[in-house]
Amino acid sequence: MDKSRDPLVSFYMTVRNGLPFLPGSIESIRKQTYSNWEAVIVDDGSFDNTLEYLREVEKIDPRFRVIATDGVGRGKALNMAIESARGEYVANLDSDDLSHPQRLEVQVSILLATKCSLLYSETSYIHDDDDIEWPHLSQPISHHVEDVSMDLMKRNPVSHISVICQRSAIIEVGFYSEVRKSQLDYELWFRLVKNGVALQRTSYCLAAKRIHTAQSFENKKRIKYLFSSMLLQNKIISEIDGGIRYRPYPFLRFIYGLLPQKLRVRRTR
């Protein structure tokens, strides 16, 4: 990375007790073919060896900056990372997930060509300790994107771990919510759309979501999570004025969310 100027893109990540999957996520950042990036990682009160590992990463590769907290919560931690970022664009990655080596190469090419403010990609799914073999994406990069903003009334269409967005757009709408316990990304997309930001999708698959039993959305609080999501979706439909045709979707998504995880993952592939 050129030390004389700020990076164009800042990866941002929050983590709490991220081992054993965190090293894979870090390596997927380090292997990016696009070089003008930094990574800001907030350790949100880990009590395993996560912070020690991150400090070693920080020593070895100065493109990584680590912020340690005693545990401020997911929303606050995400905002701390974005506030500390120096890039014009911020790209999210969760601590157990992976980015395609050409992720930023593709996304930056599309962003500069289309002038869009938010872009996300297709996402693959992997299980537990599985890895993924990424296909090489040949040149020229297709700049075709699809505006899926109105899909917010049907579901959360945006893959959080593949999103890249203008940092200023997130700041302008007040960052992530620091009071919500779940669906922080869904609620943020809603406010961005209300503020005139289109949710643009590329058909390239640039991220991999790891499915494992430790994930919070698969724990015993799933019913509470689904109910909160249904309330938020109803609010989105009302405030975007989607009309009566969208009203069944929150209930249908609630029922769908009750299906076993393996069926839901297979359906989204």
The token pair at 69 is: 């907290």
Task: Write the DSSP symbol of residue 142.
Answer: P
Tell me whether residue 55 is in a domain: yes
Q: Residue 238 pLDDT > 80, yes or no?
A: yes
Sign, CA dihedral 81-45-48-212, equals: negative
Tell me whether residue 247 is in a domain: no
> What's residue 247's pLDDT?
92
The residue type found at 63 is: R
Tell me whether residue 51 is in a domain: yes
Q: Given the structure tokens 């009160």, which residue do they identify?
A: 45
pLDDT category of residue 30 using cuts at 50, 70 and 90: very high
The residue type found at 99 is: S
Tell me whether residue 23 is in a domain: yes
Tell me whether residue 256 is in a domain: no
Quick: pLDDT tens for 185-236: 999 999 999 999 999 999 999 999 998 766 655 455 788 888 999 999 999 9
Give the global pTM.
0.92
Q: Cα separations (Å) of 122 from 12, 219, 249?
A: 19, 25, 22
The token pair at 114 is: 């289309």
Q: How far is the C-alpha of 113 from the C-alpha of 150, rounded, in Å?
A: 23
> What's residue 253's pLDDT?
87
E-strand spans in 37-113?
A: 37-44, 64-69, 89-92, 98-99
- Can you say how many angstroms the Cα of residue 81 is from the centroid of all Cα atoms in its chain? 13
- What CATH number has the domain bearing residue 23? 3.90.550.10
Tell me whether residue 134 is in a domain: yes
Domains in the chain: how many in total?
A: 1
Q: Which domain holds residue 70?
A: 9-213
Tell me whether residue 131 is in a domain: yes
Quick: pLDDT tens for 112-162: 999 999 999 999 999 888 889 999 999 999 999 999 999 999 999 999 999
Helix ranges (H only) for 36-172 are: 50-60, 74-84, 103-114, 167-172
> What's residue 210's pLDDT?
93
Q: Are strands 118-127 and 64-69 parallel, antiparallel or unpaired?
A: unpaired
Cα–Cα nearest to 10, from 69, 65, 67: 65
Tell me whether residue 184 is in a domain: yes
